[in-house]
Chains A and B, each alone.
Chain A
């Protein structure tokens, strides 16, 4: 401490790289997006005109935007629920066989280290209607798989790929949460005549609720924003927009459709959504510290 006081520049030098990254990759684009959201640009990008809230108004009154919002919500909760339920199941199993937990833990963390696009391609190959193994197996039981034509199947595919990617993150938190529950509590419950199932739902699960809530917020944020790579590599938002999430739509309208004003307005709306989610989490976590 004293050292830093004598050289007040040192902490800033140490922080500089991080601050620079945040400034270049977050503050600058965020500022650009907010600014752009209030302008309309001409088709050649040569001039622009301040139009106030009209970008927001046109985005929100566009029926397609509301469809996408619904798709995103639906997709996010499917991913969050699936990734959390599976991770919790695996964490409970791992917690039982604590000895092997290390090897098991490492294996389950691998998917997290895989880039979203790679995860997408992996699942794309598995499910490719002409090349993949799974459509062949599915046709044996009478299911005709073609996610390039069937919107529900496309949705299922991106949900599965996104779940697989996020599960390891959830697993690590759930396992840590489970290991923080004193063993004697479950032993006391066992002596109080609670069977394994009842022990789980009346003791373990309530005690994991702070972890679960934290993960719910993180998973929804993940599904909203970080699944872009997965979607882009598998379905590109199709067929017919059935897997188009809000983030994907920002990209489509901005980079493909070249409507930068609308795209920027959508990004600003997304920023507001994530801000609200974070706020809810902080409030809840603060309250939940004391049970």
Chain B
């Protein structure tokens, strides 16, 4: 168990490319931290600098409060699970798991015991004599985890460990990793580009974009209070809808003509901003229902329906808006294409983002002011 701290950590590759621009993060003991972001944003680079496989160009990395920038990978007491598993093809499953222990001159009977313990834990006992080539993708994945576990390291690193598995196995392994991590209580950093995986696994979540940290917090904090339009669009599936809006005297004017009793804090009248609303937060109104206080009323024409079973997604066309508006309805909701939905955006559910993409503090207008 260990704490990890990154202080203004920067990485420039030998070819001059700057992959990380000053990362500040601190992870607590036994936490499962997930780093998520689009491909190429520097997730692997960050993980590899933690592992010691890449040099740190500037800034500090501390494990348990001790600066480890100059330590070799072997001296950091970190284990890593690679995306392609990186199993040694010429060794049996047993030897793959025992390799790290042998290199530390662990006594033979202890190696035997630790490997069989890990094999037991991962259901690999029957497979110890096999070569990696004779294993399925899921089994290889387990061996890679076993190799990390037997060493009892201070920190686990995972680089997209599930991306080579099929969807069903991915969900299963995800649960298993979470269960194992909670049981072993080893501080872990897990990289993925899949936001669902990120949300379900993380104690805390780091969203990265272009070599920067966009936001760091618990999954629900990021879902409820995204710090930027980027995070808002990245976290949550289907993604948040964004509508352009203009600050008006009494609230925000939407391009379809509706008004919502909400303003961006400290913005002048006429300022352009973006309003975000999650598909699950759009409220569907019956023809006779009254509009909730302060809400914006939208008329949306359904273009496409995606029934998912528990939910139904409706992709709607909204006047003055090029992107379709996605609405999440519960599964029993009978809707058809070409139908028009009457929707409400409640001020409490809306997120506002300034022209720079940063979250704006909001000010709810007294409902009376509109009426």
A residues in contact (CB < 8 Å) with B: 182, 184-185, 187-195, 198, 202-203, 206-207, 290-291
CA distance A187 to B84 in the complex (A): 12
* Contact indicator B88/A194 (Cβ below 8 Å): no
Apart from the given pairs A190-B74, A193-B103, 14 other A-B contacts in the complex at a CB distance below 8 Å:
A182-B84, A185-B86, A187-B53, A187-B80, A188-B80, A188-B86, A190-B53, A191-B74, A191-B80, A193-B74, A194-B74, A194-B103, A206-B90, A207-B90
State whether A290 and B133 are in contact (beta carbons under 8 Å apart), knowing that A190-B53, A192-B100, A192-B151 are contacts in the complex.
yes
Q: Is B82 an interface residue (CB 8 A)?
A: yes
Which chain A residue shows the least CB distance to B14? Answer: A99
Q: Is B147 an interface residue (CB 8 A)?
A: yes
B365 → A minimal CB distance (Å): 56
Q: Is B292 an interface residue (CB 8 A)?
A: no
* Contact indicator B74/A184 (Cβ below 8 Å): no
CA distance A185 to B89 in the complex (A): 9
Q: Is B104 an interface residue (CB 8 A)?
A: yes
Can you spell out 20 A-B residue pairs with CB atoms less than 8 angstroms apart? A184-B82, A184-B83, A184-B84, A187-B51, A188-B80, A188-B82, A188-B88, A189-B99, A190-B53, A191-B51, A191-B100, A192-B74, A192-B100, A192-B103, A193-B74, A194-B74, A198-B103, A206-B90, A290-B133, A291-B90
By CB atoms of chain A within 10 A, which of B74, B83, B131, B151 has the most? B74
* Contact indicator A187/B82 (Cβ below 8 Å): yes
Chain B contact residues (Cβ within 8 angstroms of A): what range? Answer: 20 to 34
> Which residues of A sit under 8 angstroms from B82, Cβ to Cβ?
184, 187-188
Which chain B residue shows the least CB distance to A203? Answer: B88
State whether A192 and B147 are in contact (beta carbons under 8 Å apart), knowing that A187-B82, A203-B88 are contacts in the complex.
yes
Q: Is B207 an interface residue (CB 8 A)?
A: no
CA distance A194 to B52 in the complex (A): 14
> Which residues of B sit under 8 angstroms from A207, Cβ to Cβ?
89-90
> Which residues of A sit under 8 angstroms from B73, Cβ to Cβ?
187, 190-191
CA distance A206 to B99 in the complex (A): 14
> Which residues of A sit under 8 angstroms from B104, Cβ to Cβ?
193
State whether A189 and B88 are in contact (beta carbons under 8 Å apart), knowing that A194-B74, A194-B99, A195-B74 are contacts in the complex.
yes
> Which residues of A sit under 8 angstroms from B131, Cβ to Cβ?
291
Q: Is B329 an interface residue (CB 8 A)?
A: no
List residues 155-181 of chain B with CB under 8 A from any CB of chain A: none
* Contact indicator B103/A291 (Cβ below 8 Å): no
State whether A192 and B99 are in contact (beta carbons under 8 Å apart), knowing that A184-B86, A203-B88, A290-B133 are contacts in the complex.
yes
- What 0/1 readout, one digit per residue, does chain B (48-79) give for beta carbons within 8 Å of chain A? 00011100000000000000000011100011
Question: Which of B72, B88, B103 sits near A185, CB closer than 8 Å?
Answer: B88
Closest 4 A/B residue pairs (Cβ):
A192-B100, A184-B86, A188-B86, A193-B74
> Which residues of B sit under 8 angstroms from A182, Cβ to Cβ?
84, 86
State whether A191 and B78 are in contact (beta carbons under 8 Å apart), knowing that A207-B89, A291-B131 are contacts in the complex.
yes
> Which residues of A sit under 8 angstroms from B147, Cβ to Cβ?
188, 192
B15 → A minimal CB distance (Å): 9
Question: Which of A187, A202, A290 sits near B86, CB closer than 8 Å?
Answer: A187
Which chain A residue shows the least CB distance to B148? Answer: A191
B163 → A minimal CB distance (Å): 14
A178 → B minimal CB distance (Å): 15
* Contact indicator B88/A191 (Cβ below 8 Å): no
A101 → B minimal CB distance (Å): 15
Which chain B residue shows the least CB distance to A207? Answer: B90
Which chain B residue shows the least CB distance to A202? Answer: B99
B237 → A minimal CB distance (Å): 30
> Which residues of B sit under 8 angstroms from A187, Cβ to Cβ?
51, 53, 73, 80, 82, 86
Which chain B residue shows the least CB distance to A191? Answer: B73
CA distance A233 to B104 in the complex (A): 54
CA distance A77 to B171 in the complex (A): 56
A211 → B minimal CB distance (Å): 13
> Which residues of A sit under 8 angstroms from B89, Cβ to Cβ?
185, 207, 291
> Which residues of A sit under 8 angstroms from B74, Cβ to Cβ?
190-195
- What 0/1 readout, one digit per residue, does chain B (20-61) give for beta carbons within 8 Å of chain A? 000000000000000000000000000000011100000000
CA distance A124 to B72 in the complex (A): 49
Which chain B residue shows the least CB distance to A181? Answer: B89
A266 → B minimal CB distance (Å): 41
List residues 132-150 of chain B with CB under 8 A from any CB of chain A: 133, 147
> Which residues of B sit under 8 angstroms from A203, Cβ to Cβ?
88
B63 → A minimal CB distance (Å): 14
